[in-house]
A and B are shown apart, each in its own frame.
Chain A
Amino acid sequence: MSSDELPHQGVLRPAPESFLSGELISAISRDGVDHHRRGLLRGAFGAAVAAMAGSAVASDPDILTPPEWSRTLGKPVATNPYGLPSIHEQNIIRRQSPGLTQTDQASVAFTPLQSMFGMITPSGLHFERHHQGWVDIDPRRHRLMINGLVDTPLVFTMEELMRMPSVSRMHFLECGANTALEWGNSAVPTVQYTHGMLSGSEWTGVPLSLLLERAGYDRRAQFLLAEGADGSSMTRTINMENALDDAIVAYGQNGEMLRPEQGYPLRLVVPGVQGVSWVKWLRRLEVGDMPYAAKDEASHYVDLMPDGSQRQYTAIQEAKSVITAPSAGQKLQTKGYYCITGLAWSGRGTVTKVEVSVDGGRNWREARLEGPVLPKMLTRFNFDWVWQGDAALLQSRVHDSTGYIQPQRAALVAVRGTRSIYHNNAIQTWRIAPSGEVDNVQLG
């Protein structure tokens, strides 16, 4: 069916069971129907029929009887001096993918995209990817050194860095290996695991260009080495073009200091570039005239092509989008209106358009972009849809300011094969069954 034939608005008609409380349903499943429950059932169905006919609905006991929170004294201020989510949100946490890694120190914890709103990732839900565990550095003893092809090698304390002119910018951070498990086949069951090495944050710090300027960098230098202070002292080669453009030596994340898992007290922010280059616990920057072939750009984070060659120094995250809800592992409860929602981003610029297909990519309609739409930042999109109860194949597709359009998986695999691990920005498909269950599938 062409999506153009879908009505733009629908009438919400809950199934009859939606008029029964969960409590009553479980009581009946457990103990059967007794006189009291039969009465409740009769009342509920009567109300349902009346509602369908457009008249009265059954009154809601949660409205008729004030709940306990309306009849008690609440808790005092500063009960939690550092605030916590509601106890009802305990399912919304970072999770590991079982069996993905053998040790928890060189591993990943994924962000629960399926349950999140807007374009900002709460710092506590920001995905984790460490190479040799995370550390909690004493900021009083942390230093940043700039050396290599500079007039004067320099050392900065945190106090000095935080005194300098600062900028605050919102940017997405995506691991180069995000969606890596999906190159060959559908492998993991929810968007948390397919796309959850992704976040959007406001980063605050010193423009890297200013620090390089301060050190008097060699204008011919095209490369910058960034090095961490943790056990792995991880290094990556940064393109000087990015370093001078919009990179930040950041200490702030979403209004507070960086979380330790995000490199407290200092990390590199290289907008549009894969996460591994945003070196955490940053201790040193070296200006150089050749790339460095560090472990994570010579053994890992190289993209194997079908001819056996390995693309080295792949850095830019090309435009990508994904529907976050409804998404695999969730279940639509009833026919009718749904707001399909998701995220789109581009490492080369700004999202200009997102389209959604509900028929596996045959027909596309434009989604609404929620503002602000910022360069190299997550953009939230929303799409009105009325589900008729039929099987559907949901996809999203992003266009960016360079004219680039996100490719279908088949097109990407035709060129890169299925073994390149990194930079999988293919269109994602979620299948909706007539039962309402959503799962992760790949097409043709």
Chain B
Amino acid sequence: MSSWARWSALFIACFFGSLAAAGDYPEAVFDIGRAATAEEVSAWDIDVRPDFKGLPAGSGSVEDGETLWLEKCALCHGDFGDSNEVFSPIVLGNVTEEDMATGRVASLTDPAVVRTTLMKVATLSTLWDYINRAMPWNAPKSLSPDEVYALVAYLLQLGYIVDYDFVLSDENIADVQALMPNRNGMTMDHGLWSVGGEPDVVGSACTRDCDVDTTVTSFIPDYAMNAHGNLKDQVRDYGPFPGVQTAPVSSAVVESQPAEPAAPEAVLMANGCSGCHRLEGALVGPGFDAIRERYRGQDVADYLTDKIKNGGSGAWGSMPMPPMAQVDDSAVAELVGWLLETN
């Protein structure tokens, strides 16, 4: 590092009273760590900026994107990116030709309109970067650059930003950026970026007979008080402020029924199963209720063990289940035993 840089850092540090200034430390501190190799930097430096710096060369068509989407994305996001089942919708319309021309999505002012990704996002790089680093949900970083281009192209077509025969590439992506419906919709005109920023709203300092409206305008209705469970059980049951009983108190003796075996929830949570499977109803994969129903009474313990360990697809649709090899054998046995009610 140049001595100018060192001096300037020292100056900045002293001026802002920061935690560390180079001069505070022995020179030997600056020997710790090593230079990264070019190969290492390129392996990890995957971000794509709004000016598309970092974007790998490649291309993908809307048509290829559609095929990939149906295979890898549609179960969570819906065939047309419109599902609100697992995540917020990506595309739902609500964008007009005038929005496309002005680069401001007018329906963002309408509380009745559900906000979608394509209504909000100003930067096309965001879609490329995020799909590339984090999708699909259960297998991040498994897509090739061309596949990411194709998926972004498909989403753009769903939003009527490009036509069905479009092929998105590093060559034309900047041109498509100029079509993004909410490209002019962001502002940094606010005080929350910098610690010294100007607040937009400051409270009153009044302490006596202040002019405030103390009418209660909103409260939680009785029927919703137990929506988060019995509040009595969510605080200490001794001390000055025990909890309010919100669950109905029933004196009747409930007729006992043969109970469903309790789900091994700890195992499901600890091993990531619940990321894709719910106890009831399909999520990314089938619900455990459907799996139990399909295999009830059958001698399929080995088959299910293999499915969990090695993954597969086709039994419940095209969405592949990744191999869950990290789940230890006793946990797999517990899961299979629970599914087949042989525990």
Residues of A within 8 A of B (CB): 2, 4, 88-89, 91-92, 95, 97-99, 102-106, 112, 114-115, 131-133, 145, 147-148, 151-156, 160, 163-165, 167, 169, 185-190, 192-193, 207-210, 213-214, 216, 219, 225, 227, 231-235, 239, 241-242, 244-248, 272, 283-284, 286, 288, 290-295, 298-299, 302-316, 318, 325-327, 329-333, 338, 347-348, 355, 359-365, 393, 397, 399, 404-408, 410-412, 414-416, 419, 423, 427, 431, 437-444
Contact = CB atoms under 8 A, between A and B. Distances in A.
Contact of B16 (A145, A208, A245): A245
A361 B218 contact: no
Contacts, number: 375
Interface string B4-23: 01101100110011111110
Nearest to A365: B207
Contacts of B36: 145, 147, 153-155
Contacts of B194: 239, 241, 316
Contact of A244 (B13, B50, B111, B193): B13
A185 B109 CA distance: 19
B246 A102 contact: no
B86 A152 contact: no
Contacts of B8: 219
A103 B4 CA distance: 52
Interface string B172-189: 000000000010011111
Given A219-B5, A443-B215, A91 B244 contact: no
B214 A444 contact: yes
B186 A312 contact: yes
B187 A416 contact: no
Interface of chain B: mostly helix, strand, loop or mixed: loop
Interface stretch (B195-203, B295-303, B335-343): B195-203
A214 B32 contact: yes
A82 B286 CA distance: 38
Nearest to B242: A331
Contacts of A414: 201
A156 B244 contact: no
Contact of A302 (B120, B215, B243): B120
B142 to A, nearest CB: 10
Residue in B19, B22, B187, B229 whose Cβ sees the most chain A Cβ within 10 Å: B19
Contacts of A102: 85-87, 283
Interface in B17-53: 17-22, 24-25, 29-30, 32-36, 40-41, 44-47, 49-51
Interface residues of B, number: 115
B16 to A, nearest CB: 5
B120 A299 contact: yes
B236 A154 contact: no
Contact of B134 (A132, A185, A239, A298): A132
Contact of A188 (B35, B49, B228, B246): B228
Contact of A316 (B117, B123, B192): B192
Given A293-B126, A427-B203, A360 B187 contact: no
Given A164-B32, A333-B241, A405-B205, 14 more contacts: A102-B87, A112-B234, A147-B45, A164-B29, A165-B29, A193-B228, A210-B19, A233-B134, A331-B244, A404-B203, A407-B202, A415-B200, A438-B244, A444-B214
B143 interface: no
B209 A363 contact: yes
Interface string B205-247: 1111110111111111000110111010111111011111010
B275 interface: yes
A132 B20 CA distance: 34
B193 A239 contact: yes
B72 interface: no
A315 B188 CA distance: 11
A99 B85 CA distance: 11
B199 A404 contact: yes
A295 B32 contact: no
A361 B214 CA distance: 8
A439 B238 CA distance: 19
13 contacts: A88-B236, A102-B87, A145-B40, A154-B35, A156-B32, A156-B33, A193-B228, A235-B133, A290-B49, A315-B192, A329-B235, A332-B241, A361-B210
Given A91-B234, A188-B228, A190-B228, A294 B129 contact: yes
B139 to A, nearest CB: 9
Contacts of B208: 2, 4, 363-364
Contact of A209 (B13, B218, B274): B13
A153 B140 CA distance: 25
A293 B231 contact: no
B307 interface: no
A99 B328 CA distance: 31
Given A145-B44, A151-B1, A193-B228, A355 B212 contact: no
B316 interface: no
A77 to B, nearest CB: 27
B324 interface: no
Contacts of A295: 126, 129-130, 134
Contacts of A399: 205
Contacts of A306: 109
